[in-house]
Structure 1
Amino acid sequence: MAEYAIGDIQGCYDRLREVLARVDFSPSRDRLWVAGDLINRGPASLETLRYIESLGSSAEVVLGNHDLHLLAVALGGHQTRRKDTLEGILDAPDHERLVDWLRQQKLCVYDPGRHLLMAHAGLPHVWSVEQALANAREVEAVIADDRAKEYFTHMYGNQPERWAPGLTGMERWRVITNYFTRMRFIAEDGSLELTTKESADSAPAGFAPWFEYPRNDDVRVIFGHWASLEGNTGSDRFIGLDTGCVWGGALTMMNLDSGEKIHCDC
């Protein structure tokens, strides 16, 4: 048995199957951790979503911002955007089942044996692992139950920009979501800067990449979301797996135990 983690697939189904074939991946014995953004912008979002769903318990999935966008269109009344490639999913005869499956997925997962956490955008330094898991479970419950329509109707927004334990309702859910799915640059006090998307050395004044702040633990973090990093964080603890497949880069997968990375040019 082997366990692998893979970066943002974004509907690049052929590249997904190619990189899995390189390690002779079999769901009967192996497991795949998916770091979010399964879909959108690529040519085969429907096929990708169906395949990952078909893996059942052999897949460990966290939601990315593009996955949440699909749910916001399907459930929250939002419109697709010009570059979206979601029509195949929305028009599919099994779209309700796929949407329901996506609503059951997590915002972060944690393996205590490996002391390894996966979240689409990363783990802010203002949260311990325990706090992150508790906050994730709170929003996951909202997405999965009858509060989902309210949540997805009001999910988008950059405010509040900073976590505070006393936040309630939609403001609380939105900032938790933004940390897990949109974070790149962050201030020491936990404030998010959500407009800059360039490389790590383009941080606005007063901000830094989230993985450059010290932590009081030795957790390792797998994340995607930040293609312009090209997987380079300068630290073995923070493992960026989004290498820009949908932008013509590569799809990257990593063996969780050996650390070996397998790349498929896109």
Structure 2
Amino acid sequence: MATYLIGDLQGCHTCLLKLLQQIEFSPHTDTAYLLGDLVNRGPQSLQALRYCRDMQGSIQVLLGNHDLHLLACAQGVRSPGRRDTLAPILQAPDRDILLDWLARQPLARHLRSARGQDLLLVHAGVLPEWSLQNTLDYAQEVQAQLGGAGRAAFLQQMYGNTPAAWADDLTGMDRLRTIVNALTRLRFCSAQGVMDFSSSESASAAPAGLMPWFDCPQRRTQEVIVGFGHWSTLGLRNEPQLMALDTGCVWGGKLSALEISMADFAQRQLHQWACPQAQAPGI
């Protein structure tokens, strides 16, 4: 029984199949956690989405910003962009089934090793004020909207960069939008947790007064291992408390799978598949 964390797929379905073949993945005994952005920019978004749905159980997914973008496009809130590859999904005969399944997926997952180590999985980041339990609870608030009758109204108001910081007394869409932005878009923030969405550079190129979210000195999840994707310019990070796994598959980089031991999360093995470039580098 093997457990894997896999970085941003972004519609590169053939690359996923090649990587799973390389690691001899067995859906009967193994589990793979995909860290969001299942679709978009790559050439096979429809195939990737169908595969993940059909393999649910052995493949567990998180929602990323591109997955939410797909849901918003399907709702008519957004129009697909020039570089988007969502049309085959939006025109598919089973689109409603696929989109409903996608909308019911979580924004955060929690694993615990036999040694009692906590592993938090998100697509982008975690605000410094949030504990592990806060993060899971807040993610569930969004999931309740996406998975229920409030989906259309939620997607209509999901976009925007404000509020830029968390406050416990946030309510309504301000609260939900802040949760979504942190979990699916965050890269840089101030030491006080004020989020910035203007830069997608590497961690070493932080704008003045900002830092990568995981470097915030008062971050309450410092004792929690965090696995995430989203930040291709950050590159691979395989550190004791941090696993960054977006290695730019769609940009001609690699699709990365980090095999972790459920006995001890410190035991890890990296597997990668080199991917043909599907898009010019970008966000």
Tell me which amino acid in the other structure corresponds to 1:5.
L
Query: Is the 8 Å Cα contact of residues 12 and 43 (structure 1) preserved in structure 2?
Result: yes
Q: 2:191 aligns with which of 166, 188, 192?
A: 188
* Residue-by-residue CA offset, 1:90-142 (whole Å, 9 max, x unaligned): 11111100000001100000013341010000222210001111100011001
Query: Is the 8 Å Cα contact of residues 75 and 155 (structure 2) preserved in structure 1?
Result: yes
Q: Which residue of 2 aligns with 1:206?
A: 209
Greater helix fraction, Structure 1 or Structure 2: 1
Q: Which residue of 2 aligns with 1:242?
A: 246
Q: What displacement does 1:76 show?
A: 4.6
* Residue-by-residue CA offset, 1:7-35 (whole Å, 9 max, x unaligned): 00000011100110011111111111010
Structure 2: where are the runs of 5+ without partners?
262-266, 276-283
Amino-acid identity (%):
45
- Whole-angstrom CA distance in 1 between matches of 2:103 and 2:135: 19
- Whole-angstrom CA distance in 1 between matches of 2:125 and 2:55: 24
Alignment partner of 1:251 is 2:243 = no
Alignment partner of 1:127 is 2:136 = no
* Residue-by-residue CA offset, 1:44-84 (whole Å, 9 max, x unaligned): 00000111111121122110000000001112532111110
* Residue-by-residue CA offset, 1:155-189 (whole Å, 9 max, x unaligned): 11101100111111111110100000000001111
Alignment partner of 1:226 is 2:222 = no
1:126 aligns to what SS in structure 2? coil
Structure 1: where are the runs of 5+ without partners?
none
1:211 aligns to what SS in structure 2? helix
Q: What displacement does 1:149 show?
A: 0.7
Tell me which amino acid in the other structure corresponds to 1:38.
L
1:125 aligns to what SS in structure 2? coil
- Whole-angstrom CA distance in 1 between matches of 2:235 and 2:78: 31
Alignment partner of 1:262 is 2:265 = no
Q: Which residue of 2 aligns with 1:112?
A: 112
- Whole-angstrom CA distance in 1 between matches of 2:208 and 2:237: 21
State the Cα RMSD in Å.
1.2
2:233 aligns to what SS in structure 1? helix
1:227 aligns to what SS in structure 2? coil
- Whole-angstrom CA distance in 2 between matches of 1:24 and 1:201: 36
Tell me which amino acid in the other structure corresponds to 2:48.
T
Tell me which amino acid in the other structure corresponds to 1:152.
L
- Whole-angstrom CA distance in 2 between matches of 1:83 and 1:249: 18
- Whole-angstrom CA distance in 2 between matches of 1:255 and 1:232: 14
Q: Which residue of 2 aligns with 1:77?
A: 77
Query: Is the 8 Å Cα contact of residues 103 and 147 (structure 2) preserved in structure 1?
Result: yes
Tell me which amino acid in the other structure corresponds to 2:40.
N
- Whole-angstrom CA distance in 2 between matches of 1:242 and 1:128: 24
- How many corresponding residue pairs? 265
- Whole-angstrom CA distance in 2 between matches of 1:236 and 1:19: 24
1:56 aligns to what SS in structure 2? coil
